[in-house]
Amino acid sequence: MSGVILVGVDGSKGSDDALRWALREARLRECAVTALLAWGGDGLQREVYRRALQTDPADHTDLETAASNALDRAIGRAGLSGAEMTRLVVDASPVAALENSSAGAEMVVVGSHGHGPIHRAVAGSVAQGVVNHARIPVVVVRGTTEEHPTPRPVVVGVDGSGNSVGALRWAAEAATLRRAPLRVVHALGHTEVLYPELLLAGQSSLLRRAQEAMEEIVAKGLAGAGGIVVDTVVTPEAPSPVLLREAENAQLLVVGHRGRGGFAELLLGSVSHQSILHARCPVTVVPSEGRVVAAT
């Protein structure tokens, strides 16, 4: 057994879903799981406060004990076995705790919603914060996570940049582990012009070149990856709505942290942000290759 999946836990339903997803993923990858509950700052959930305040509200030990008990209950609710589990209770904000504890991990897994005033005010705030700082893939668990009799596809957005090729490779590995088809999407992004007929006249040529680029991306990203069924989609539409639509029938959506060209929207706050907030399946955000190298 090698590798670790780090999962953030706070006692909310979203984090319970994230923990279950992480445990299933650990079985696929034959790796361990570290369940982390950060109880400092805005990460201190209501349940921890309530239980600690039943004794001495100024007692730091009581707060830490309440946080530890909350983590134990979350692990118990997960109801899954077969993975090596490590518990970690940290006096820090959730984003800082996950960032500081991610060294050596294969990925960080978080839920799409959590406890705390900031979490309730801004959906996905912790998830977005982790994605902002992470140097390893981050999985935000949301939407449909149940296993399906017929494996649903793993969907990945690409644009030809080095980072999107990395996202493609990560998605191919995930599809292989799940024995699921891989759906590769290249969305060009619509362009507003004064004369629509000019856009229509050039669209055929644009799509043809995009298809050729897609074939090169797939050949490069999937070199050496055999045994999976690959389906490709090239469209003139904008990336966000296309990927969200494709995610409706997917078991996992994979996007890059940065992009270029038609996928320039992969800059945080657009495609990845919209995916984290609205996708109907778990979303993996793969960091740029430069960030990964910097972390090693």
Q: Domain boundaries in the chain? A: 4-141, 154-295
Please report, for residues 2, 87, 101, 120, 200, the alpha-carbon distance to residue 104 in angstroms, rounded to integers and kept in the order given: 10, 16, 9, 31, 50
CATH fold label, 154-295: Rossmann fold (3.40.50)
Q: What is the DSSP letter of 98?
A: H
CATH fold label, 4-141: Rossmann fold (3.40.50)
Query: Whole-model pTM?
Result: 0.83
What is the per-residue pLDDT across 213-261, written as a single tens digit (0 to 9) for each?
888 888 888 877 778 899 999 988 888 999 999 999 999 999 988 644 4
Closest of 49, 200, 29, 218 to residue 117, by C-alpha = 49
**Which is more confidently placed, 131 or 80?**
131
Q: Where are the beta strands (DSSP E) in 215-275?
A: 230-235, 252-256
d(CA 294, CA 76): 37
Same fold, 4-141 and 154-295: yes
